[in-house]
C-alpha cells in the first residue's frame, strides 16, 4: 500500500464519519447513550472508541506509546464528539502530509496498552486504523436502524462516486 493509498483511505473514513455524525447529531441524548448491547455499549461510546483509537495510533506514529484511552465521559454530546474528532483528524492529516513514500514501508515499534513491545510495517497500522473505522461505523449504522433512525450509506463506492461528480 502506498502513502497515496493511505491518504485516500483516510479521506474516505473522514467523509463517511461526517455523514454518520450528521445523523447522530439529530438524536435525542437518550438514543445517543442508549445501551444497545454491543461491543462498546452505545453509539456514544462506540464513537469515542473510534476516535480514541485513531488518537492512540497517531500517538504511536509520533513515537510515543500511550498508556490509556479517551474517556466517553469527557465527550458527553454528539457536538463534543465532533469537535474532538475534528481535532484528531487535523492532527492525522498534518502527520500524513509530513510523511514521505518510503516512510510507509518502515517498521513501527511501540508498546501496547498492556506493555508488550510489537513491530509492524507502518502501512499495516494505517490499514488497521481505516479498517477499524469501517467496522465500527457499520455497528453505528446498525444501532441507528435498531432505533428506527434512517441511516445513510457510507460505502466506499459512494465516496468514489461523489468524488467523480465533484471533478
Q: Give DSSP secondary structure letters for 50-116.
A: HHHHHHHHHHHHTT---SS---GGG--SHHHHHHHHHHHHHHHHHHHHT--GGGGGSEEEEE-TTS-
DSSP state of 144: H
Average pLDDT score over residue span 122-136: 97
Q: What is the pTM of this model?
A: 0.95
Q: 63: domain range?
A: 3-166
Residue-level pLDDT at 125: 97
Residue-level pLDDT at 166: 87
Residue-level pLDDT at 87: 98
Cβ(10)–Cβ(132) below 8 Å:
no
Residue-level pLDDT at 167: 82
pLDDT digits (tens, 9 = 90+) for 54-70: 999 999 999 999 999 99
Cβ(67)–Cβ(114) below 8 Å:
no
DSSP state of 41: S
- For the chain, how many structural domains are there in total? 1
CATH number of the CATH domain containing 58: 1.20.120.450
Amino acid at each position: 500500500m502506498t502513502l497515496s493509498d493511505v491518504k485516500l483511505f483516510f479521506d474516505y473514513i473522514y467523509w463517511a464519519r461526517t455523514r454518520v455524525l450528521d445523523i447522530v447529531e439529530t438524536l435525542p441524548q437518550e438514543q445517543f447513550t442508549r445501551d444497545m448491547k454491543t461491543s462498546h455499549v452505545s453509539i456514544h461510546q462506540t464513537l469515542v472508541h473510534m476516535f480514541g483509537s485513531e488518537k492512540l495510533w497517531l500517538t504511536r506514529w509520533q513515537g510515543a506509546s500511550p498508556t490509556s484511552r479517551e474517556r466517553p465521559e469527557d465527550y458527553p454530546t454528539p457536538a463534543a464528539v465532533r469537535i474532538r474528532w475534528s481535532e484528531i483528524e487535523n492532527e492525522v492529516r498534518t502527520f500524513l502530509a509530513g510523511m514521505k513514500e518510503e516512510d510507509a514501508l518502515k517498521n513501527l515499534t511501540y508498546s501496547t496498552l498492556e506493555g508488550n513491545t510489537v513491530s509492524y510495517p507502518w502501512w499495516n497500522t494505517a490499514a488497521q486504523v481505516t479498517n477499524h473505522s469501517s467496522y465500527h461505523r457499520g455497528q453505528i449504522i446498525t444501532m441507528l436502524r435498531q432505533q428506527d433512525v434512517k441511516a445513510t450509506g457510507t460505502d466506499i463506492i459512494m465516496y468514489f462516486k461523489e468524488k467523480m461528480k465533484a471533478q
